[in-house]
């Protein structure tokens, strides 16, 4: 099922949001977007460079200097810098961020089969997976936060809006810069930048940046030996290479590549409710058998947990991406641009669903025998927290890969956009074609101890016993998307170009296919290969009147779609 959202707004006076299909309205005050007063800031929210003050889109823009002054180093640090915009890290995903704009767009747990409602673009290249978009903002020219549906020019997955990140081009002068910063929890960052200037007296310039950032964390595990990283620990190394070429006065090429490697120890999640009621009774009896006490969410929970996973290892991830942009200005009325992008991500993820409850012991029924084993209410990654042997004959083999105890996600994407922008007299236009090919692979083990009534015996004094369960899920999702769009803006001469009328339309085709296999306690319980095609029509129309050079109002109506997909966690509901 596709989700349709339509927003209309009257900036500087009042904004009114209307949701088509499911009637819902809200009102909010919005000032004309600006940064640092009435200075001129150029944005590309409509695929062409224009003054932020005269753009009929709710945009908050930050220059590189703004980010520096605010201490913003990563995408997640942008949270609350713009009205109704929230960035949150994805628990267990070292490189994961979920974005919500005006209450729309969040993908709370970062599941790879759920598309985001707010998309992040780096130099015009979409970053399709929320689990790999916690980007270090290395040498940024500007960041544009577009609020409200952006389906016409930016396409699917922009029901809440879009975040447009533009990196800085190399300097024409040779230079070396070194920066250091320090903070609480042993937060240390070092950034080295080399600008080559003109390479060998050619029309090419280049820039190389290396950034190291580490933080000691703040959440201690009682099971961790001295020196083990705490929850919240992170250690990242990022690199950015930019090459810019002026092949002629009208022809430019930009090549950009970036790489991030992280080692993280995400904080433990919290169990805030237990059910059925006898489960808390069972797990609370752990100290009787020599185990750790149950951790219940409370004032002390933030700083200390019993977490065996955080006592053993950190969780690595890597993210690589690149883009090639070629722009040719044919004449005053036409500029052609090609944007080619690739992304490659890999995460070994740890979402601690046990609420920091490692080291619990309890009576477990195995066949007709009761033994004392490690038990867990629920854990998304099972690294010794249950009594199950997760290797050898007990681990399923799919595509030649032996299942292990840790969730692993891999994704890769290729995208291409061709667009033409320009205008003549009182008409401006933007038309384009877009293609995306994406492949996501996820291996997700979960383990749990079910609690059932049992006869009261010396081994089961509470009349309760645990039964171990182990669920392995393998998912592969293939996605192909193609789209075409067109938008035009007209400024009638009769209004002295103070009035602008804009209209745009986009058609998108999307085809997805999923391969899924599920094993429960080593038995293959599910095999399916669903496939489905979606078609989206998005539109945008706006009226803007520029009363003075520094003040204008606009009325805008637009819609966007959040991509449909599959639900691997429900054997009965395949599509959504």
Question: What DSSP line would sit under 115-180, residue for residue?
Answer: --SEEEEETTEEE--TTB---B--SEEEEEEEES--HHHH-SS-SSEEEEEEEPPPPSS-EEEEEE
Give the C-alpha separation, 557 to 66, whole Å.
Answer: 30
Q: Span 28-44, mean pLDDT?
A: 52
Q: Find, among 294, 299, 298, 297, the residue nearest to 284 by Cα.
A: 294
* CA dist., res. 230 & res. 34, Å (int): 40
Q: Which helix (H) or strand (E) holds 546?
A: strand 531-548
pTM: 0.81
Instruction: Determine the Cα–Cα distance for residues 241 and 306; give it in Å rounded to an integer.
Output: 42
- The structure tokens listed for 269 are 């999640």
Q: Are 7 and 560 in contact (CB under 8 A)?
A: no
Asked whether the beta carbons of 23 and 40 are under 8 A apart, the reply is: no
Gap between the Cα atoms of 565 and 387, Å rounded: 35
> Poorest-confidence range of 126-135, 165-174, 350-359?
350-359
Supply 364's token pair. 């477990």
H helices present in 155-311, as ranges = 277-284
Q: What value does the mean pLDDT take over residues 62-76? A: 79
**Best CA proximity match to 438, nearest among 350, 332, 516, 345:** 345
Closest CA to 489 of 11, 54, 13: 54
Least confident of 392-406, 428-442, 496-510: 392-406
Cβ atoms 229, 223 nearer than 8 A: no
- Cα(381)–Cα(447) distance, integer angstroms: 7
CA–CA separation, 451 and 524 (whole Å): 24
Tokens encoding 16: 């009114």
Mean pLDDT across 47-64:
86
How sure is the predictor about 268, in pLDDT bands with cuts at 50, 70 and 90? Answer: low
Strand extents, DSSP E, 249-333: 251-265, 304-305, 315-331
Digit-coded pLDDT (tens) for 329-383: 999 899 999 999 999 988 776 555 555 566 788 999 988 899 998 887 765 544 4
């Amino acid at each position: 099922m596709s989700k349709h959202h339509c927003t209309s707004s009257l900036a500087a006076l009042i904004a009114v949001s209307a949701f088509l299909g499911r009637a819902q309205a809200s009102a909010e005050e919005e000032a004309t977007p600006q940064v640092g007063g009435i200075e001129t800031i150029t944005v590309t929210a409509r695929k062409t460079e224009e003054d932020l003050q005269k753009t009929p889109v709710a945009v908050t823009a930050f220059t590189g200097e703004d980010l520096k002054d605010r201490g913003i180093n990563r995408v997640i640090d942008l949270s609350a810098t713009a009205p109704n915009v929230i960035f949150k890290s994805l628990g267990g995903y070292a490189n994961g961020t979920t974005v919500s704009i005006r209450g729309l767009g969040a993908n709370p747990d970062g599941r790879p089969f759920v598309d985001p409602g707010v998309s992040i673009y780096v130099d015009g290249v979409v970053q399709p997976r929320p689990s790999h978009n916690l980007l270090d903002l290395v040498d940024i020219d500007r960041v544009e936060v577009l609020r409200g549906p952006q389906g016409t020019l930016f396409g699917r997955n922009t029901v809440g809006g879009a975040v447009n990140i533009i990196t800085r081009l190399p300097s024409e002068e040779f230079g070396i810069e070194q920066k250091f910063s320090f903070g609480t929890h042993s937060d240390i960052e070092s950034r080295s930048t080399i600008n080559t200037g003109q390479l060998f007296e050619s029309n090419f310039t280049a820039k190389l940046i290396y950034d190291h950032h580490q933080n000691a964390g703040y959440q201690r595990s009682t099971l961790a030996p001295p020196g083990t990283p705490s929850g919240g620990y992170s250690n990242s190394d990022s690199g950015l290479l930019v090459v810019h070429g002026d092949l002629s006065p009208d022809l430019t090429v930009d090549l950009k590549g970036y790489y991030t490697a992280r080692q993280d120890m995400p904080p433990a999640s919290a169990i805030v409710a237990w059910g059925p009621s006898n489960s808390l009774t069972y797990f609370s009896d752990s100290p009787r058998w020599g185990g750790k006490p149950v951790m219940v969410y409370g004032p002390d929970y933030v700083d200390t947990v019993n977490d065996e996973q955080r006592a053993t290892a950190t969780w690595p991830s890597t993210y690589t991406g690149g883009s090639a942009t070629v722009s040719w200005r044919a004449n005053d009325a036409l500029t052609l641009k090609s944007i080619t992008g690739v992304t490659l991500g890999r995460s070994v993820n740890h979402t601690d669903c046990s609420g920091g409850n490692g080291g619990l012991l309890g009576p477990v029924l195995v066949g007709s025998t009761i033994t004392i084993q490690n038990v867990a209410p629920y854990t998304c990654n099972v690294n010794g927290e249950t009594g199950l042997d997760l290797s050898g004959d007990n681990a399923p083999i799919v595509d030649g890969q032996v299942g292990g105890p840790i969730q692993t996600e891999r994704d890769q994407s290729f995208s291409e956009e061709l667009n033409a922008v320009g205008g003549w007299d009182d008409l401006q236009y933007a038309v384009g074609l877009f293609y995306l090919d994406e492949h996501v692979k996820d291996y997700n083990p979960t383990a749990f101890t079910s609690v059932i009534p049992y006869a009261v015996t010396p081994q089961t004094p509470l009349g309760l016993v645990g039964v171990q369960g182990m669920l392995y899920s393998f998912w592969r999702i293939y996605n192909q998307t193609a789209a075409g769009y067109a938008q035009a803006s007209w400024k009638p001469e009769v209004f002295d170009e103070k009035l602008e009328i804009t209209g745009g339309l986009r058609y998108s085709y999307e085809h997805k296919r999923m391969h899924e296999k599920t094993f429960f306690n080593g038995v293959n319980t599910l095999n399916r290969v669903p496939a489905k095609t979606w078609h989206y029509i998005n539109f945008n129309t706006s009226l803007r009147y520029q009363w003075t050079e520094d003040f204008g109002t606009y009325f805008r109506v637009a819609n966007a779609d959040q991509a449909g997909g599959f639900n691997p966690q429900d054997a009965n509901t395949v599509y959504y």
